[in-house]
Amino acid sequence: MNENPFKFGTVVDGQYFTDREDEIAKITSFIKGENHLILISPRRFGKTSLIRKVINDSGRRYVYLDIQLIISTEDLASQLLKRIYRIFPVQKLKRYIKSFRLIPSVIMNPVTGETEISFKPGSADLTPLEDVLNMIEKLGTDNKKIVVVLDEFQDIFRINNGLDRMLRAVMQNQKNITYIFMGSSESMIRNIFERKDSPFYRFGSLMTLAKISREKFTLFLEERFLKITDQAKDLSETILSITDSHPYYTQQLAFTVWELLIRSGKTPDMVEVASNDIVQSHDNDYERLWNSLNRTDMTILTGMSGSNLSPLSDEFSRLFGTGAASTVFSTLLRLAQKGILIKEGSAYSMDDPFFKRWIILRRKM
């Protein structure tokens, strides 16, 4: 059986997971200690996979919630409580819920078998959330803390303006919970945890997650491609030179190359063919994205697609006519915030190698 050994778009573990030894060691020691953790990385670098792996291996009970999908403070309370229902026996929870100031409605969905919980929506009342967080604190113990992972944490501001203050007020007195805050908007997350006037100033230790190391990724790809081709090394290196070791796009391209190999056998330019297939399949998305950009965005992205020059350099500005440095700078920041660019240190690069390719191909047409 030559089942495709690559996987993208979902949380990965086991044979689909590689590298991250240092990060695993570091986060494991965090979970054992007294500190909270803040984990930052651009989209699809592998935050969720990494965190799930560490917590599963640690044997800790945990709750994972993506704040991006939360609509209101009542919704936040309901969703947290729903996840608590998944890991604790109902009888144990009943006792605590009885003392809530607002009692939620709890029903068993007969179709999904899941417990549905809702606090009456619309009042923007913070008491349900406070009650739920206090309950989680009581369910944990000092040497068996519960891990609460809040992903895309910067989205709390969209939910409610004063939510950061309220959360901090409750969380700072808790001893039986380890919080892991994650986010893909580096500047927003840094604002929350590094600005002196922010309620969460220095609430935990900040860690940034980089791409997977080129060396480890080469071995990972090579080992798998060796099962079906003797050109595994070449293929792996070509794939990584296109994706620049981005975890998601590398797995996506490797997956596509594998399919092509199985279907059509080896051809000299198969990584090119696979890349163009991916570009083609996203044509609509890329077109929509492109049309949502302004002229400065377009100029900068076109320049970055066609050259390896830093968009902040004089030469880039001369070649592509990008105008005032301050405009370029603020555009880069904004494009990074939107996830179109990645900022590593002080250098910017395009996030999606296939969008980059789309721009080049389209302009050639």
| Interface ranges with Mg ion (CB under 5 A) | 48
Cβ 228 to ligand ATP, closest distance in Å? 19
Strands of 24-103, DSSP E = 37-40, 62-66
Residue 302 Cβ vs Mg ion, minimum distance, rounded to whole Å = 30
Q: Which stretch binds ligand ATP (CB under 6 A): 17-25, 193-201, 256-264, 292-300?
A: 17-25
Taking the complex as a whole, the smallest distance from the CB of residue 43 to Mg ion amounts, in Å, to 8
Give the binding range for ligand ATP (CB under 6 A) out of 14-22, 265-273, 274-282, 312-320: 14-22
Chain centre to alpha carbon of residue 169: 26
Q: Which of 5, 12, 135, 320 lies at the binding interface for ligand ATP (CB under 6 A)? A: 12
**DSSP assigned state of 19:** -
> What is the per-residue binding string for ligand ATP in 202-241, x denoting contact by CB under 6 A?
----------x-----------------------------
Question: Up-side HSE of residue 363: CA atoms within 13 Å toward CB?
Answer: 14
Rounded to a whole number of angstroms, the minimum distance from the CB of residue 202 to ligand ATP is 24
Closest distance between ligand ATP and the C-beta of residue 184, in Å? Answer: 5
Under rule CB under 6 A, residue 9 binds ligand ATP: yes
The strand pair at 347-350 and 341-344 is best described as: antiparallel
Alpha-carbon Rg for the chain in angstroms: 23
Nearest to 4 by CA among 346, 213, 261: 261
- Round to whole Å and give the CA distance between 188 and 155: 9
Residue 7, both tokens = 């996987």
Helix (H, G, I), strand (E, B) or coil at 204: coil
Nearer to ligand ATP, 184 or 299 (CB): 184
Nearest to 33 by CA among 211, 175, 217: 175
Please identify, using beta-carbon distances, which residue of 210 and 333 lies nearer to ligand ATP.
210
Residue 305 contact, options ligand ATP, Mg ion, none, Cβ 5-8 Å cut-off depending on partner type: none
Contact present, 265 and 320 (Cβ < 8 Å): no
Q: How far is the CB of 8 from ligand ATP (least distance, A)?
A: 4
| Max Cα–Cα distance, the chain, nearest Å | 69
Binding residue (CB under 6 A) for ligand ATP from 78, 236, 251, 256: 251
Q: Kindly state the helix (H) or strand (E) to which residue 105 belongs, with its residue range.
A: strand 105-108
Half-sphere exposure of 8 (CA within 13 A, CB side): 15
Residue whose C-alpha is closest to residue 296's, from 268, 331, 258: 331
Choose between 48 and 178: whose C-beta lies nearer to Mg ion. 48
Query: Which among 7-15, 54-62, 123-131, 321-329 is the span making contact with ligand ATP, rule CB under 6 A?
Result: 7-15
Residue 8 found at the interface with ligand ATP (CB under 6 A): yes
Query: How many chain residues bind ligand ATP (CB under 6 A)?
Result: 23
Per CB under 6 A, residues contacting ligand ATP are 7-12, 17-20, 41, 43-49, 184, 212, 247-248, 251
